[in-house]
Amino acid sequence: MGGLLGRCTFPPPGTPLVVGVSGGADSLALLVLATAAGCEVTAVHVDHGLRPGSADEADVVAAAAERCGAAFRAERVDVPEGPDLEARARAARHAVLGPGAATGHTLDDRAETVLVNLLRGAGTTGLGALRPGHRHPILGLRRAETEALCAAEGLTPVEDPSNDDPRFLRNRVRHEVLPLLADLAGRDLVPVLARQAGLLADDADLIAALADELDPTDAPALAAAPTALARAAIRSWLRPTADGQPPSAASVERVLAVARGEAVATEVAGGWRVQRSAGRLALVPRPT
């Protein structure tokens, strides 16, 4: 276990840490490693109520937490069937866990996220998503290693049938796209994609830092700035209008056109409008 811990990014011993534990191999390994790292762990199981018997999985997590000497809490959220089910369930889980909670994402998850976000049209920030740190402390481990750790600890992970459900894009990327690409490349692509994510994350951080020095309401400054910086400044400015989600690329380009004087105003998400007057951009409520 010591070798695995050396590749993790847990906070210092004694730090309170909420960990999301579904009962799968990755999250159980997270629980074991977090307690071994000396954190004051609270394991939280979130039941989405999306399949029969899901509430019973809390008992598996409770038993594992007791065995590891961690505190335990069970939560229930209601996520109705419908479009974007996976995204809505993830958002509900994160809302319950809180912004500082640790989750059991692995290197395999990071590689899959690169491909999923690429298919969704993400830019540098999205392709560099899932970063090492206290929120993703086992991101340097492979899924096979978490499974082996559970076996070594005598823990039987919960098998979630939704992980094989082809309705979810990530599952098709995991079971179809990534194996096909690995076959074409003739090598394991998970480390390659994860390394690319790290490089893109560094680029995104640099662009964001430089964009912070740019006033997104100063239309001439936006128009004169390098396009990458102008886009980053606009994205940051518009983010609160989209419930904290990244604004669409189309919205950013329309706002950039307003800054350049190619349009006098444009509609953006959340019922807002960006308009230009006397060289300044302003967010105003969309006329009804």
* Domains parsed from the chain with CATH numbers: 2-182 (3.40.50.620), 213-285 (no CATH)
Q: What is the pLDDT of residues 210-245, one digit of tens each?
A: 999 999 999 999 999 999 999 999 999 998 887 667
Per the model's pLDDT, the better-predicted residue between 243 and 34 turns out to be 34
For residue 82, is pLDDT > 70?
no
pLDDT grade, residue 195 (50/70/90)? Answer: very high
What pLDDT is stored for residue 161 in this prediction? 79
Q: What is the predicted pLDDT for the residue at 115?
A: 97
Cα distance between residue 15 and residue 13, in whole Å: 6
- Judge contact between 77 and 49, C-beta under 8 A: yes
Among candidate residues 104, 103, 102, the one with its CA nearest the CA of residue 17: 102
Residue 50 above 70 pLDDT?
no
| Contact (CB, 8 A) for 214 and 233 | yes
What pLDDT score does 44 carry?
A: 96
- Six-digit token pair at 130? 């899932």
Cβ–Cβ < 8 Å for 155, 122: no
Residue of 239 and 42 predicted with greater confidence? 42
Question: By mean pLDDT, which of 124-133, 141-150, 173-182 is the weakest?
Answer: 124-133
Edge-to-edge strands of the sheet including 272-277? 265-268, 272-277, 280-285
At residue 81 the predicted structure's pLDDT band, cuts being 50, 70 and 90, is low
Instruction: Give the tens place of pLDDT for each residue, 99-127.
Output: 899 999 999 999 999 999 999 988 999 99
d(CA 183, CA 32): 34
Instruction: Please report the pLDDT score of residue 84 as a whole number.
Output: 66
